[in-house]
A and B are shown apart, each in its own frame.
Chain A
Amino acid sequence: MTSFYGASARNEATLEVRQILEGLAPGEGDLLEALHRVQHRYGYIPQAAIPGVAQHLRLPESRVYGAVTYYSEFRQTPPPETKISWCSGPACYIKGSENLRLVLEGLLACGMGENTPDNRLGLHLGQCNGTCDNAPQVWVDGEVVGPLTPSKTVELVRRLQAGDQP
């Protein structure tokens, strides 16, 4: 994970970001692709990467920042080592996913979009991906775990906290 502080680091960051964006051109609708690449490289969109993206695509920085904050999949803070996404879809919801959310938030003491203080685990608000035969479910680093009950969720979180596999 790279972090950016200070003016010289900022220029370096801009250079590095522009390398990542090679092949993308202004005026062709490449902003989302550019941000996906930045997020793929750093795990999130560092504030210092925004000028580089803006320069490369000849867009105002405000427009890049606007897109970063508009779309829920772009994060502005480093991701956790293990991301638990809670599915917010209706099939999960009517089968009690709200109880799973209470367990997750209660046990990890963090809300949706936040990480535990040591950044080992974090919660993410997931949107339905249509694997509703396993509802209610969570995805641990993208892998579906379900169907869950509150007690199974407690056990899952405890396993993850202990550093075990889901």
Chain B
Amino acid sequence: MPTYAELEAQAAPAKRRIEARDRPRLAVGIDTSSIAVGALKTLDALRALVASRGLDADVVQTGGNGLSFANPQVEVGRAGGSRILYQHVDAEDVPDFLESVLVRGEQTNRWLLGALGGSPASGVARMDDHAWWSVQERRLMSEMGLIDPESIDDALATGAYAGLERSLVMTQEDVIAEVTGSKLGGRSGGFFPTGRKWDFLRTSPTTPKTMVCNADEGDPGAWVNRMTMEDDPHALIEGMLIGAWAAGAATGYIYVREEYPLAFERVVKAVEQAYERGLLGKDILGHDFSFEMKVVRGAGSYVCGEESGLIASIEDARGMPKIRPPYPAASGVFGQGSNVNNVGSYHCAAWIMRHGVEKYADVGTERNPGTMLFSLSGHVQRAGCFEFAFGVTVGQAYEICGGGAPVGHTFKALQPGGPLLGVLPEFALDLAIEPEAFREKGAVGLGGGGFVFLDDTACVIDLCAQFEWFLEDESCGRCTTCHGGTQRMVEIIRRIQRGGGRESDIGKFRLIADTLKYSNCFHGQFAPSIIVNTMTWFAAELEEHIFSRHCRAGVCKGLTRYEAGRDKATRAEYAEAYARAAETCLTLAMRRAAGDAVEGQEPCLECVVCAELLPQAVHVVDAFEQGDPAPELISIQPAYE
């Protein structure tokens, strides 16, 4: 088996290519986020045009850098080492773009985002000049956007597997001591000390032992694990190998969710390449350490992100969580002692062993050294994945990186870490990004890296309905508390949304929330979080829905209706818009408003095309006048209510 020095030597050409650059290098960041806005087309167009015009430049693929809002991005590297990022380079821009950067040799043009390093021409904006860049502490993400994630040479050239080499000459105890000393906490959102977890498995009497990576990032609104898998997959494999060495495991599984086809593809490729180079298999790097790895593809199940559910899913079964104990360290995959960590935890462990625990603790806080990836989405001006040192506040992340609420709107709520973690009001912006800070304020937790921001156009009750429905849909069905409780929650919230709220509903919510605590796994136990949070922090809004049958955001379908201005003046003024709306809208209501009543039209879909196309003439109004008798409800409610 090759030694680490031999692998490094093999990667030398890649290192030269990345660092020195004898000729211009155009790199397009390719990952799921950039493909969604046409980065592959940009890459193809660049390749075709550079070849057909015979320009002197390399066109390569790299991973994405997390800045989704700027995609598709092209990085132009020049001899001498300057690296400049350009944003929004669409396929149709490619001729002009190449003319500018290659033919005229310009560094500043309309696509310029900023210079990453080297010595750009004077006057070229630097990335560090952007507050949303400099507020980040990009360590785990330092290789993202720099290397081709499908090339192991690129990874080796930028230091991959150096942490493994360092660990393999240390004792198991020393590796665990270093990881424990870093205070690295589980990045799925539980923040359980990773080093201690590894030690449980090391001291577990069972053999053989198994290392499992939970890459079933099911929390909607979070894509931080996808970043690692798509843009730097070898960091994940390295982290798992380090853990396997420290805990004495001989086999490993990476469980990737179905919804990440590109991440799965790249992780499989990385594993194959690691086998080819002797980084997996027997006598790794010439040391007395062997490890076999398998990549498992999920099939669409949220509870498979719960560790016992994930283990069951690997074992030829429905992914239903089990009651613990036994914990995985005693009995996990196929009854073997197992350790389950999140992608982020392995990525951090690899970083710690590459750079040492002192360097890791340079940033962050006393109780949480280091950094973590966060994906910001929802009502923000810049959606993307950013890396923060612990201790940065949510408000800084929101204002500086996210750019705050869209123009004309204000912050309303933060939804951290997926449907199980509830929703937080204004004070969320003052919280430091640390699990303790969140819990001290009564929040369920910090979560695994997803931050979805809501502004005043969102209705918290409506989000409750969506999340409870999601949790009902994804409940494995083993405990009645969970599948029955979530179902009941959905029924009640939907009734409230149709104007059938009752005073007793608050009490019912509390009863169901208390009962759900006795579910077997996190899924049921935390299912009522968003309702409980809403009753605490958005009580006024909830009461409005129940008692006044009013939705202040004008979102809940049963509490609002759309009224088209029917007076002649309005009609004349917006005749053109009416015509277009009538063309697009399918319903009688719209046709009537356009003065073009057609019989036999289907009823209104409530799709709001009319309000979208005719914002001046179609208004959202309350469906109920104050004091209206309660509406007759379609009876899906049981008779005993």
Q: Residues on A close to B: CB < 8 A?
A: 27, 29-33, 35-36, 57, 59, 63, 66-67, 70-74, 88-91, 93-96, 98-100, 102-103, 106-107, 126-135, 137, 142-144, 146, 149-151, 153-155
Contacts and interface: CB of A to CB of B under 8 A. Distances in A.
Interface string B460-473: 00110011001000
A140 to B, nearest CB: 12
B348 to A, nearest CB: 20
A31 B301 CA distance: 15
Interface of B: 32-33, 35-37, 68-69, 71, 218, 220-223, 226, 253, 258-261, 294, 296-302, 313-320, 333-334, 375, 377-379, 383-384, 415, 419, 452, 454, 457-458, 462-463, 466-467, 470, 476, 557, 584, 586, 602, 605-609, 612-613
A161 to B, nearest CB: 13
B466 A70 contact: no
10 contacts: A27-B316, A29-B333, A63-B316, A91-B220, A98-B462, A102-B605, A132-B68, A133-B37, A137-B36, A144-B37
Contact of A35 (B299, B458, B467, B586): B299
A131 B68 contact: yes
Nearest to B230: A130
A63 B32 contact: no
Contacts of B419: 90
Instruction: Please provide the 5 A-B residue pairs with the shortest distance between their CB atoms, ordered closest to farther.
Output: A130-B223, A128-B220, A132-B377, A71-B299, A73-B300
A129 B259 contact: yes
Contact of A127 (B36, B68, B300, B454): B300
Given A72-B300, A90-B467, A29 B334 contact: yes
Contacts of A30: 316
Contacts of B298: 32, 71, 73
B296 A132 contact: no
A127 B452 contact: no
Question: Which one of A63, A72, A143, A146 has the highest number of Cβ atoms from chain B below 10 Å of its Cβ?
Answer: A72
A135 B337 CA distance: 42
Contacts of A103: 605, 607, 609
Contacts of B609: 103, 150-151, 154
A142 B36 CA distance: 10
A154 B419 CA distance: 29
A135 B379 CA distance: 10
B220 to A, nearest CB: 3
Contact of B607 (A102, A128, A143, A146): A102
A100 B316 CA distance: 37
Contacts of B33: 130-131, 133
Contacts of A33: 296-297
Contacts of B378: 90-91, 94-95, 132, 135
Nearest to B302: A127
Given A103-B605, A132-B377, A144-B35, 18 more contacts: A59-B316, A70-B319, A71-B258, A89-B221, A91-B377, A94-B379, A98-B466, A99-B606, A102-B605, A106-B607, A128-B220, A133-B71, A133-B377, A135-B377, A146-B36, A150-B608, A151-B609, A154-B609
A73 B258 contact: yes
Given A74-B299, A89-B221, A131 B584 contact: no
A31 B314 CA distance: 8
